[in-house]
């Protein structure tokens, strides 16, 4: 997982995972890109303004999810399949990667977009919804209201995106937005029942066992024994049900626990390292910097000062 934040504004025309489509669509419709930044963790954020008498904008399966939050204006902008419903400050739109939509845009608009990959959105479903990532997708919602999401979006907009500390705080805000969005706008994926993967009981047993033993070394063999499967079948089915291979999932949980401890406690680094299953503070610092992009103490100073 690439989590190193970029400290400069990037031309979206040079970005991966389909952002070219959305950015070209908006630019062709006379929208002005005010700011753009990669926040790490495959998250991108953009601030846009637009003034037009009337124009049609079409989005066609961009491949990435988009959350839009109106900051100002938009009072005469409507989605063609929902005539008579208009935008306004703090109103939100959730646009899945496979969606297609047409909009009539009129007047002045100031809005932000948060861009993220479908798998980045759904991988947190195991912990936050007690569901498999492949069960969940983002709802297609137009002009819904959620005060907590809108507030977190405003916090994201208030951060500087041009320095490392600001980007780190913005990354934290973006993760909060995605967690809130998953809980309120995560819906069952169409297409019937799932095939393969772990049973619900086995998935929960493995998840809870990993949480309880993060401070200790964990092996594929003991997880396989817990699931009553061979190592080969456990590895294959774990990935189907968790969205990541066992080693990657465990590494991700260690980093998430470390982030929480650094954010909410004053424990010495050696104790944080021990509680998260790292051999020592040096090994922990190396892994944390590799995953998050900054040293643990820098992370603690930035997020606790926010």
Question: Residue 187 and residue 151: Cα distance in Å, rounded?
Answer: 22
Considering only residues 19 and 164, tell me which one the structure prediction assigns the higher pLDDT. Answer: 164
Q: Report, at the CATH architecture level, how domain 12-188 is classified.
A: Sandwich (2.60)
Q: What is the pLDDT of residue 159?
A: 92
- Do 166 and 149 meet the contact criterion of CB atoms below 8 Å apart? no
Angstrom distances, CA of residue 119 to CA of 38, 81, 96, 241: 17, 28, 12, 12
Q: Do the domains 12-188 and 200-305 sit in the same CATH topology, yes or no?
A: no
Question: Residue 183 and residue 61: Cα distance in Å, rounded?
Answer: 23
Q: What is the pLDDT of residue 7?
A: 37
Considering only residues 190 and 209, tell me which one the structure prediction assigns the higher pLDDT. Answer: 209
Question: Residue 77 and residue 258: Cα distance in Å, rounded?
Answer: 43
Question: Residue 236 and residue 259: Cα distance in Å, rounded?
Answer: 28
Q: What is the pLDDT of residue 19?
A: 66
Residue-wise pLDDT for 218-277, tens only, equals: 999 999 999 999 999 999 999 999 999 999 999 999 999 999 999 999 999 999 999 999
Instruction: Give me the DSSP letters along 121-185.
Output: HHTTHHHHTSS-GGGEEE--EEEE--HHHHHHHHHHHHS-SSSHHHHHHHHHHHHHHHHHHHHHH
Confidence tier at 18 by pLDDT (50, 70, 90): low
Q: Which two tokens stand for residue 39?
A: 């926040």
pTM: 0.88
The residues near 64 (Cβ < 8 Å, ≥ 6 apart) are: 17, 18, 19, 22, 97, 115, 116, 117, 118
Considering only residues 268 and 10, tell me which one the structure prediction assigns the higher pLDDT. Answer: 268
How do the domains of the chain map onto residue ranges?
A: 12-188, 200-305
Of the CA atoms within 13 Å of residue 192, those in its CB half-sphere come to 1
- Do 33 and 24 meet the contact criterion of CB atoms below 8 Å apart? no
Q: Which residue has the tokens 């951060």?
A: 159
Residue-wise pLDDT for 27-66, tens only, equals: 777 788 899 998 988 899 999 999 988 888 888 888 899 9
Point out which residues pair with 73 in neighbouring strands.
Answer: 109
CATH superfamily placement of domain 200-305? Homeodomain-like (1.10.10.60)
């Amino acid at each position: 997982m690439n989590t190193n934040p970029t400290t400069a504004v990037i031309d979206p025309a040079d970005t991966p995972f389909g952002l070219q489509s959305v950015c070209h669509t908006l630019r062709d419709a006379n929208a002005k890109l005010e700011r753009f930044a990669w926040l790490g963790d495959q998250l991108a954020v953009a601030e846009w303004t637009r003034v037009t008498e009337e124009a049609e904008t079409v989005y066609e399966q961009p491949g990435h999810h988009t959350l839009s939050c109106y900051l100002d204006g938009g009072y005469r902008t409507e989605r063609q399949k929902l005539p008579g419903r208009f935008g306004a400050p703090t109103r939100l739109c959730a646009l899945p990667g496979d969606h297609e939509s047409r909009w009539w845009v009129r007047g002045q608009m100031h809005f932000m977009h948060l861009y993220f990959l479908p798998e980045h959105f759904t991988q947190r479903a195991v912990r936050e919804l007690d569901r498999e990532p492949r069960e969940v997708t983002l709802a297609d919602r137009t002009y819904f209201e959620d005060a907590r999401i809108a507030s977190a979006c405003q916090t994201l907009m208030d951060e500087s995106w041009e320095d490392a500390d600001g980007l780190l705080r913005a990354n934290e805000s973006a993760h909060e937005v995605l967690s809130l969005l998953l809980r309120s706008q995560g819906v069952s994926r169409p297409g019937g029942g799932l095939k393969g993967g772990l049973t619900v009981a086995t998935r929960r047993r493995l998840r809870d066992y990993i949480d309880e033993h993060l401070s200790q070394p964990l092996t594929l063999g003991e997880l396989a024994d817990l699931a009553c499967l061979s190592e080969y079948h456990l590895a294959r089915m774990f990935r189907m049900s968790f969205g990541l291979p066992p080693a990657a999932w465990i590494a991700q949980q260690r980093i998430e626990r470390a982030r929480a401890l650094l954010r909410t406690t004053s424990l010495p680094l050696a104790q944080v390292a021990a509680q998260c299953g790292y051999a020592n503070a040096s090994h922990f610092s190396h892994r944390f910097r590799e995953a998050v992009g900054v040293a643990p103490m820098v992370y603690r100073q930035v997020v606790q000062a926010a």
